[in-house]
Amino acid sequence: MKYLHAMIRVHDLDATAKFFTQGLGLAETRRIENEGGRFTLVYFGAPANPEAEIELTYNWPPADDSPAEDYGSARNFGHLAFEVDDIYATCAHLQSQGVVINRPPRDGRMAFVRTPDLISIELLQKGGRLPPQEPWLSMPNTGVW
């Protein structure tokens, strides 16, 4: 058995793709447009292990006037986890992209953020935890993750 990918449904493909590429540094590995099924699949991989992919599924708006499918808050998905070289630098970079740090890395080891479609992303410091530092040490949790 071989792990292939995790799939998440998204409402805004461009915003979520930007989160994964410009925010987290993943690379788009392939894209499939299916006109008959009215959906787009976009796959992303991390530089250190691009074979373990995330698949974004974007279901096109209905052809008629019916409302788009409601995926809810996406809390039933759980989260995706990424190991990062410097959790503080990663969180600062994501903040500069307008991403809320829901669970700051107060312990120098773990943080949580959410994608534009509210999918939780766990960030874990590579190796041992970093010494606690501001502004993360005194930053409160925001929202849910």
Q: Is the dihedral of CA 46, 51, 52, 57 positive or negative?
A: positive
| Edge-to-edge strand list for the sheet holding 79-84 | 79-84, 120-125, 110-114, 101-103
Give the phi and the psi of residue 31 in degrees, each rounded to 5: -145, 135
Residue with the two structure tokens 């447009």: 33
| Catalytic sites, residue numbers | 122
Partners of 29 in the β-ladder: none
